[in-house]
Structure 1
Amino acid sequence: MAKTIKKQKSMEETLWDSANKLRGTVESSEYKHVVLGLIFLKFASDKFEERRKELIAEKKEQYLEMKEFYNMKNIFFLPEESRWSHIIKNAKQDDIALIIDTALHTTEKNNPSLKGALPDNYFSRLNMDVSKLAALLDTINNIDTLKDKQQDIVGRVYEYFLSKFALAEGKGKGEFYTPKSIVNLIAEMIEPYKGIIYDPACGSGGMFVQSMKFIENHHGDKKEVSIYGQEYTATTYKLAKMNLAIRGIAANLGAVPADTFGKDQHKDLKADYIMANPPFNQKDWRADNELVDDPRWKGYDVPSSSNANYGWILNMVAKLSENGIAGFVLSNGALSGGSTDYKIRRKLIENGLVEAIVILPGSMFYTTDISVSIWIINKNKSERTLKLNDIEKNYRERKDEVLFMDLRQIGIPFEKKFIQFSEENIDEISLTYHNWQLKDSDYKDVPEFCYSANLEEIAAKDYSLVPSKYIEFINRDENIDFGDKMTALQNEFAELLKAEEASKADLLNVFKELGYEIEL
């Protein structure tokens, strides 16, 4: 008898299964904060204990309880009641929720950089089943967060959980997470090597994380990047702060969670790179008499109060430096139509700011099935030479051109019913875009994939940015003889009808033999 080989579960899967046991006692939208808060505490404690051993080895026992000797190594200082060993020792106690809340509170209190990042009295309020919480603590206790010195272990777990929670929360929720392959594509297209990176709707910080991974993958220097962002939802704001903290990424996400339109916390910011996935088709984002004189709309019409899409676009345009470039996701409704949108879109095109429009496949987002596109806005499309990470690039003049790309036939299956881009897909797409930008490249328009349109062509299409209006599509039936095709279909249909008559006759005979005549 053949033996069945059981696939070994990954650390992430094991942890996810354990976390799922909280269902029933905690809402799915809540338990991500439970799990990710505990993972953060485990990681912070492992780093603290490692540094503590270093101090002992260096014969510096007198400094073991001094914050400065931890902070100097970018490690959070943890008082006794914040340490993972203390939590595990009391994991089976009835007051374990209070013990965890105390650990989170004292961790934040002793580390100013974590201000506003950790849940406050969160576990006590949830009234969780103690045995299920203890089981989750045991599972997290088995994670060796220091196994990979690049902090990829805990980062990987965190990223896995954010994506799984986004999947689990379903349509209309989960706005805290943008699928990783989309973020990777944006990073590869705008190439955020150094300078200021900004995200006006930063969610859990995924754009920033992938920006840093882009820099690492291309052997850049993370110290040459500054990060600014803003997030409206308080719980998601905390997720972002934790997500960045476990990776040692310093960021200014504003003093508090706040609406980017109503309370812009980075008014004077000029960013070199913007990466964003703002809420799609946000309605009633301002009252009709609000923000009408906002400086972010200067030189353009005031965006419609019924849909925030162009509010987000103009916010990002206003925040770009003179050579800045932005890559962001919007619903396809922004590509055409709308009286106010039309005026703003036309001016953006005429001002030479729209560089590329990339339509994405369906089923890429976990929380919506509407069709979406990536916009690339570039403040400087002029001929120039740039040195990016020791690679010299000679850009051509593109002020009156827009690259349209259609990726609807590209991608690989993911989680059964979703689509994502493979690394090869991302390489092909970004290479096509960069070749289009450069002098003396081998860029060519490709049917059903890409087309470079000039301003005259776009004006002739009434300033629509819908890619299918420009990209050539091949009629796959053009080489088929219509008469031959119809004859073949006719013969096939005749055979089907004959088979149906034979089946009917056989059935009538069966009933007749049984003594039952059927009159038709």
Structure 2
Amino acid sequence: MVEAQHKKELERQLWNIANTLRGNMSADEFRDYILGFIFYKYLSERMEQYADDLLKPDNLTYRQLTTDQQTILDDIKQESVDYLGYFLLPNELFEVLAEKGKNGEFILDDLGEVLRHIEQSTMGSASEDDFNGLFSDIDLTSNRLGKNPNERNQIISKVFEHLNEIQFLLDDTEIDVLGDAYEYLIGQFASGAGKKAGEFYTPPMVSKLLAKLVTAGKTRLRDVYDPTCGSGSLLLRVAKEVGVDNVGYFYGQEKNPSTYNLARMNMILHGVHYRSFDIQQDDTLERPAHSAKRMEAVVANPPFSANWSAAEQFKTDDRFSDYGKLAPSSKADFAFVQHMLSHLADDGTMAVVLPHGVLFRGAAEGHIRRYLLETKNWLDAVIGLPTNIFYGTSIPTCVLVFKKQRPQADNVLFIDASQHFTKASNQNYLQDDDVERIFNAYTARQNHDKYAYVASLNEIADNDYNLNIPRYVDTFEEEEQIDLNAVASQIQQLDKDMIDIDKTIADFCAELNIKAPF
């Protein structure tokens, strides 16, 4: 209860501070600043906490060290870079800059140097790729922050002062609280970013559903992979189902450079050690980064019906060559499916969110769909979701679940969850109960009137491999039969009542010696 209250209070404080910086910026612009500053503060507290522990035998604290004690600083740097992945000098700690700003000093130049030094401290180490360019989206010269350097310094100093009043790492459990608060901020930015939100964020309940599907019956995972990982929230949600320490390795790829930076920050801030994740920045379909890997859990919310090259060379690419056809260049949905399946281990589970069109569109997509069902038989379940639950689009979506070794290899489960949601203003939301209902139906794998249906492969073949959910789950509601005799009796009674009313009015008018109105 105390932890929940602390989390709510931390969320409120951080969001209020974020709004201090907003000014004329759009949600996705000021997101990069405030999340970057929160991350810097987190790194600073971790650094000081770790260094203080190293110095305890000498009865020293990290703040007490000076440049005259270079040998000690060098030793701490070596230990820190190896364990934490980075290094900060005592005079580079967040609190030091925050105090300078509070006292009216100009801190922007120092801040820029500190952020560069964090990245430079990792050069030549195992963590270099995880920190390289991490703060590149924080432009301290942007006019969006202020018309001149003094205005920009004033607003940054104000934000630092407010952040400095919050201690992030009180004890070992606090990282979960801070991580959840960070996720809350990312969600708040997504809700204000319109169509751009889909580039970096999956709604929490959808993430939870995918995570539960790929971890069903498991308490540990060798690894988890998201080829369009955005802010990394979906990878972290999978980890939450089994515990971060129970996931061996995290793999991800993200096309957008800013979102790629956010994903790496998010992983570190949630306590994922830099040696336990590999997030790469590039176009997943055109230039995949993890070709040799086969993962136990694969999840994704790829951009719906995105363009891709569908270049001739991909016909001999191991990801696509077996299928005989490529997904159309104007709709990459099945290209993502094929890519993900190529990375799915034989004992793994994959769950992906896609637009409804993948269930029934023909031509190349119909050919690929048929191959997946008839030849590979990897599709395990089709789950229809409500409309308007994703930021920036209202189209109906579905979740496809795949397994290469299916216990129920003679059927496919269909679930229609499209009518089970909560409506709030312009957005629909899945609630915990809605997610649990879907998951329970998935694990039970039984027919449920107007909700779930177990279709045999022969039945799917008879439908020419069309997976449109209404073909399998009958949600038709019969209209209530109208009793015409009852209606006629009601009309007759109304006629009688009108006659009585007319007579009453006529008698009343006669008493008053006036003409009746009819």
TM range (shorter): 0.7 to 0.9
Q: What SS does structure 1 have at the residue aligned with 2:438?
A: helix
Structure 1 segment 461-500 matched on structure 2, within 5 A: 461-478=463-480, 480-483=481-484
Amino acid in the other structure paired with 1:429: I
**Deviation for aligned residue 1:491:** 8.8
Taking only the aligned residue pairs, the percentage that are identical comes to: 27
Q: What SS does structure 2 have at the residue aligned with 1:405?
A: strand
Amino acid in the other structure paired with 1:28: A
Q: Which moved more, 1:345-354 or 1:109-118?
A: 109-118
> Where does residue 277 of structure 2 map in the other structure?
251
Maintained 8 Å contact 1:324/1:378: yes
- How far apart in 2 are the matches of 1:468 and 1:493? 43
Question: 461, 480, 483: which one pairs with 1:459?
Answer: 461
- How far apart in 2 are the matches of 1:209 and 1:190? 13
Calculate the TM-score normalised by the size of structure 2.
Answer: 0.82
Aligned residues: 459
- How far apart in 1 are the matches of 2:492 and 2:194? 48
> Where does residue 405 of structure 2 map in the other structure?
380
- How far apart in 1 are the matches of 2:338 and 2:489? 57
- How far apart in 2 are the matches of 1:417 and 1:106? 44
Q: Which runs of 5+ in 1 are unaligned?
A: 1-7, 383-397, 437-443, 499-520
Q: Whose helix proportion is higher, 1 or 2?
A: 2
- Change in 2 beyond 3 A, CA 1:187/1:493: farther
- Change in 2 beyond 3 A, CA 1:75/1:297: closer
- How far apart in 2 are the matches of 1:87 and 1:475? 65
Amino acid in the other structure paired with 1:68: Q
- How far apart in 2 are the matches of 1:493 and 1:146? 75
> Where does residue 333 of structure 2 map in the other structure?
309
Calculate the TM-score normalised by the size of structure 1.
Answer: 0.81
- Residues 1:122 and 2:124 aligned together: no
**Deviation for aligned residue 1:224:** 4.6
Question: 419, 422, 425: which one pairs with 2:434?
Answer: 425
The one-character-per-residue Cα deviations of 1:195-224 (angstroms, maximum 9, x if unpaired) are 1211111101011111111112xxxx7255
> Where does residue 97 of structure 1 map in the other structure?
108
Q: Of the two, which has the highest radius of gyration?
A: 2
Maintained 8 Å contact 1:18/1:136: yes
Structure 1 segment 4-23 matched on structure 2, within 5 A: 10-23=9-22
> Where does residue 249 of structure 2 map in the other structure?
226
Question: 444, 447, 455: which one pairs with 1:435?
Answer: 444
- Change in 2 beyond 3 A, CA 1:456/1:24: same
Maintained 8 Å contact 1:278/1:312: yes
> Where does residue 47 of structure 1 map in the other structure?
46
- Residues 1:196 and 2:223 aligned together: yes
- Residues 1:32 and 2:36 aligned together: no
- Residues 1:318 and 2:342 aligned together: yes
Amino acid in the other structure paired with 2:482: D
Amino acid in the other structure paired with 1:90: K
> Where does residue 518 of structure 1 map in the other structure?
none
**Deviation for aligned residue 1:83:** 1.1
Structure 1 segment 178-217 matched on structure 2, within 5 A: 178-191=202-215, 193-216=220-243
- How far apart in 2 are the matches of 1:56 and 1:303? 59
Q: Which moved more, 1:222-231 or 1:315-324?
A: 222-231
**Deviation for aligned residue 1:483:** 2.1
The one-character-per-residue Cα deviations of 1:483-514 (angstroms, maximum 9, x if unpaired) are 2686599799999x99xxxxxxxxxxxxxxxx
Amino acid in the other structure paired with 2:418: R
- How far apart in 1 are the matches of 2:371 and 2:494? 56
> Where does residue 298 of structure 1 map in the other structure?
321
- How far apart in 2 are the matches of 1:120 and 1:101? 10
Q: What SS does structure 2 have at the residue aligned with 1:299?
A: helix
Spell out structure 1 runs of 4+ moving beyond 6 A.
488-495
- How far apart in 1 are the matches of 2:493 and 2:330? 54
The one-character-per-residue Cα deviations of 1:328-370 (angstroms, maximum 9, x if unpaired) are 1001111112210000001111121110011111221122111
